[in-house]
Amino acid sequence: MPDYRFIVSTGVLAATLGTIAGPATAADKPASQADIGVRSKAVLDVDGYRFRDANGNGRLDAYEDWRLPAAARVADLLPRMTTEQKAGMMLIDTLNAGCAGSLDGTPARDFVQAQKMSRFILRNVARAAADPCDGSVKPGRGGLAVTPRQLAEFHNAVQALAEAEPLGIPVLFKDNPRNHYNSDPRFGISGSAGAFTEFPREAGIAAAALGTGDMSPVASLAAVMGAEFPAVGLRGVYGYMADLATEPRWSRVSESFTENAGLGAGIMRALVLGLQGGPLNPHSAVALTLKHFPGGGPQEQGLDPHYSFGKQQVYPAGNFAWHLKPFQAAIDAGVASVMPYYGVPVSVTHEGVTYDQTGFAFNRQIVTDLLRNKLGFRGYVNSDTGIINERAWGLEGKTVAERAAASINAGVDVLSGFSSNKVITDLVAAGLVRQTRVDEAAGRLLLEQFAMGLFDNPYVDAARADGTLGSAAHRAAGMTVQKQSIVLLQNAALETGRRLLPLAPGQRIYTMGMGKADVERHGHTVTDGNYTQPGTRPSAAGHDLAIIRVQVTNPMDVTLAYRTKGADTGADPAKRNPRTGQPWGAEDPCSLAPAVNPRCVDDLGLLFGGALPWEVNNISFTTMAASASWRMTPSLADIRAVMNEVGAARTVLAIYFRQPYVLDAASGVRSAGAILATFGVSDAALMDVLGGGFKPQGKLPFALARELDAVLRNEPDAPGYPAADTLYPYGFGLGY
C-alpha cells in the first residue's frame, strides 16, 4: 500500500499519511455525492455536487472537497491553522453530557472554543431510563446516565459548536469498549454496558474463537459494535487491549483476551478489519486506539501502573518480542492509533537496544524507534490518560511543561487527560517543541477525521439511537457468543452412570449467586439460596443438585480507602513493598518530589481496580477468602457448606474468571461434580449450556495453575506453566 506524503507551507515534511488512510485511488473516493451535514455553515454547489463550506468563505477549498484524497485535504488545511489550533488537536479529555444530554454544566464550550480541542472521551452510561435532572442523583466521575438518544443529541450539540469555529474542524468522541457483560464496572477502565448489547468480556471472546476455530465471534462483536458506537456519536474506541495475559495477578487481565500471542494477533487483526475495514476509510465504523504498547502484561508483582507502586514492567523470561506480536498484526492491518502504557521497562534489551527506564509514553526508543521505524506504524500515538499531571513515571521530578515536551518529542501525538492548549503553545514559543513536530502530530490527527468522513457530515441521526442499541438482532448475536464462550472444565459421572451435565429434566435445584427465574424456565423446581441476613440461608439438603455462580471482586469500600500517606495503608511501616523494602506509598510522586507534585497520585484510592498491593498475590480461592480486598460471592464458606449439604459430586460451580484464579486443593472447590469457566455471561446463557440446549464449546484462553506457588514462581512475561504446575492448560475445554 503506497504512502502519501504532503509538504506543509514551511516546506518541511510533516507526516507520512498514506497507510492509515489507505491509498489515494478512486476506490477511496465516494462513488457519488458524499453525505453532507451542517448546522450553521452553508452548503456549496459546485460542478453539480454539494460540499460543506467549513470555513465559511463562500468558495470550495481543497480541504472541503470530499472528492480529493484525505492526505491532500490535510495538506490544504494544515497551513490554514494557527499553532493554537494545531495544539488543540493534540489534546483529549473527558467531556461527559450534562443532564438529559445538555451542554449546560459541561466544559464543552471551553474545550472547543478556548482550548481548540477536537477529541473527547465520552463516559456517560447510556440506558433506557436517564437519571433525573432534579438534583436527586449526584453525578459520578462518569457523569449522569442518559438515554442513547440523549447521548447522540449531546454529541450533535458539541459538533455544532465545532462547526461554528472558523475552520469548522469536527470533533471525534471515544470511549472504552462498552459492548461487554460487566458486573463490576470501573471508571476509566471498563464501563457498564447499559443499553449497549452485551457480549462476553474479552477473554470470553477469545474462548469462543478457540471453540469455533475461527474469528466469527470477533466478527460478530465488531458488526454490533460498529452499528451501536456510531449511533450515539462514538467514532473511536480506547481499545482493544492487545496486552497478553501472562501475569495472572495483574488486575487488567479482565480486559485482556489471551496469554497466547498467536491468538492475540489473530483477534487484533480481526478487530481492525471488522471495525475499521482495514486502514481508515469513509466506511470505517470505529477507529481503534490499540493499547498498551509494547504490551502491558508483564507487570512486576502483578501490580497496576495506574498506581505509583506498580510502575515497573519486567521481562525476566526474555519474551519482549512475544508481547509485540498482537501489535504487529494490528499495525499490518492498518490500525488507526496506538496507546503506550504507563509502565517503565526495567533492564530490558531488545535487538541490541537497552531501553531507558522512563514511562513508555516518554520513551522515544519505544514510541518512535520501535513502534514507527521498526514495526512500521503510520497512525497517531495517543497517550494513556493522566501521564502529564499524574502518572509521569520516571519523570516524577519534572514539571508539567517538561513532561509534555518529553512526551511530544518522544513521538506522542495526543495527550490524554490533558486540556491545556497554552502548555503546548508555550513550549513551541520557547523552542522546547519544534513547530514541525506540532505540524506532524496535527496532520496525523486530522487524517482520521478526514478519512472517516467527519469533515463532510459529523452528525448522527439521534432519533435512531434508542432503536439501534440493544436491538433484538444485536442481543441475539451477543447471546450466541456468550454461550460460545463458556468453558466446561470438569463433568464427573454420577452413581447412575450419567454425567452431571447436561442437566436431567425436572430436577430439584438449589441456586446461589444467580437468579432462579432462568432455572425455572428450564422446567426445574428451584430453591433460592441467596440471602442477606446472617444465619438465614436455606439448606441445600434434599435437592438433586446445586448450581453456584461464583464471582470475585476487589470491593471498593476497601480499596478506595487506600491513601499514599495513610497510617494504615500507604505509610504503614508494617506493610512494605518487598521490592523496595519501603512502605507502599514511598514511590508516589508526592513523596519523591513534593515540590512539583503537591497532590498524591494514589490519594483517590485504588480507583481503577485491583487488590490492595500487599494482597495482590492472593489469587487462590483459599487466600482470597482470607483477604480484605478480595470478595468472593458466595463466600468460600457458603460454597463448601452447600457442597457438603447436597454432595460435592452434585454441585455445579460456574466461576467467572476475571483473572486466572487458582482452584487450589485446600479450597475444596476441585471436588465439585462440574466446573465451568465463564467470562461475563448472563444466567440465561449459562442455563442454555447447562441444560444442553447449547453444547459447551469454549476453550480456555489462558492456563490455570494447579497451586498458587506456581503463579508466584512463574515469570510475568511467560505464558502458561510447566505441565506439573498446570491444572488446566491453554486451549482446554470439554464438551457433551
What is the DSSP annotation of 435-485?
HHHHHHHHHHHHHHHHHTTTTT-----GGGHHHHTT-HHHHHHHHHHHHHH
> Are the C-beta atoms of 732 and 210 separated by less than 8 Å?
no
CA nearest 171: which of 106, 122, 217?
122
DSSP assigned state of 658: S
Which residues in 318-405 belong to E strands, given as ranges?
337-340, 344-345, 349-350, 353-354, 380-381
Side-chain half-sphere of 475: how many Cα atoms within 13 Å?
11
Name the DSSP class of 80.
Answer: G
Residue 116 is placed in which grid cell?
481548540
Tell me: cis bond preceding 279? Omega within 30 of 0 counts: no
Residue 119's Cβ-side half-sphere holds a number of Cα atoms within 13 Å equal to 31
Find out whether 715 and 297 touch, Cβ atoms under 8 Å.
Answer: no
Helix axes 70-77, 435-451, angle to 10 degrees: 140
SS3 labels along 193-254? CCCCCCECCHHHHHHHHHHHCCCHHHHHHHHHHHHHHHHCCEEEECCCECCCCCCCCCHHHH
Residue 241, strand partner residues: 291
Decide: 311 and 342 in contact? Cβ < 8 Å: yes
Q: Which is nearest to 339 in space by CA: 299, 388, 294? A: 294
**What letter does residue 113 receive in the DSSP assignment?**
I
Q: Which three cell numbers stand for residue 460?
A: 448522527
Q: Report the DSSP pairing between strands 674-678 and 704-705.
A: unpaired
Q: Does residue 518 have an active-site annotation? A: no
**Nearby residues of 241 by Cβ (< 8 Å), 6 or more positions away:** 202, 252, 255, 256, 257, 291, 292, 296
* Phi, psi values for residue 527, rounded to 5°: -110, 125
Question: Which has the closest alpha carbon to 733: 439, 456, 510, 487?
Answer: 487
The whole-angstrom separation of Cα 203 and Cα 676 is 14
Q: Are 21 and 446 in contact (CB under 8 A)?
A: no
Catalytic residue among 384, 439, 664, 717: 384
Asked if 262 and 733 count as a contact pair (C-beta separation under 8 A), the reply is: no
For residue 555, the 8-state DSSP code is -
The catalytic residue positions are: 384
